[in-house]
Amino acid sequence: MKITLHQTGKRFNYDWIFRRVSATFSEGGRYAILGPNGSGKSTLLQVISGHLHHNEGTVTYSTMPEELLPPDQFFRHCAIAAPYLELVEEFTLAESIQFHLQFKRFIPEISPQEAIALVGLEKSMDKQIRYFSSGMKQRLKLALSIFSDVPVLLLDEPCTNLDTAGIKLYQQLITNYGGNRLIIVSSNDEQEYFMCPNRISIQDYK
């Protein structure tokens, strides 16, 4: 999967958040979107994911070999972990996994039980998400995204609410299970984008 932005811009009301972003996110590449608080990193990631519509320029998705994917189909090919995407508080952990698997299966080598054990939540299978700590919720979000069998991972501040052990866990999961997928991280913390040789500064597009 390749994502191409050409002269892409996004505004809220009269405020341009970014303009004239031209970038190619290649299959298997690792990219970080960097910038200070409020600069537009999340907004750019949401434009890439299709959650927000851009106001100028284009965003195109292409599969290999070069074949354009309709933008409304991209959600099937990506998994997202982001602070603004909420878990269903009424579900237990087991129900959350089952619900997720109705839409996206896990990578073949990982069973749901293994996924939960890998993020250290095996003792909370029957606990409702509303009783999870913020760090436990983040571990679950990471499991649901990183173990999804999709070619693109979009991670917005992936270490939010994680302690030192959680950050190490995130880095291990990316290293062990990132595979050859396209990964785009929105972040201002090096620990979150340690694996990304390609860096885009949102400040360059003001």
Ligand X SMILES: Nc1ncnc2c1ncn2[C@@H]1O[C@H](COP(=O)(O)OP(=O)(O)OP(=O)(O)O)[C@@H](O)[C@H]1O
Residues contributing to the site for ligand X (CB under 6 A): 12, 17, 35, 37-43, 188
| Shortest distance (Å) from residue 186 CB to ligand X | 6
Instruction: Please state, as a whole number, how many other Cβ atoms lie within 10 Å of the Cβ of residue 58.
Output: 12
Instruction: Please state, as a whole number, how many other Cβ atoms lie within 10 Å of the Cβ of residue 8.
Output: 22
| Range 111-119 contact pairs with CB under 8 angstroms and sequence separation of 24 or more | 115/143, 115/147, 116/143, 118/143, 118/173, 119/143, 119/169, 119/173
Asked whether the beta carbons of 122 and 116 are under 8 A apart, the reply is yes
| Shortest distance (Å) from residue 204 CB to ligand X | 13
Exposed/middle/buried for 51, CB within 10 Å: 0-12, 13-18, 19+?
middle
User: Helices 93-101 and 134-146 sit at what angle, rounded to 10 degrees?
Assistant: 30
CB closer to ligand X, 35 vs 112: 35
CB closer to ligand X, 110 vs 142: 142
| Shortest distance (Å) from residue 47 CB to ligand X | 10
CB closer to ligand X, 53 vs 168: 53
Closest CA to 1 of 79, 61, 86: 61
| Shortest distance (Å) from residue 196 CB to ligand X | 16
CB closer to ligand X, 37 vs 180: 37
CB closer to ligand X, 119 vs 202: 202
| Shortest distance (Å) from residue 99 CB to ligand X | 27
Residue type, 107: I
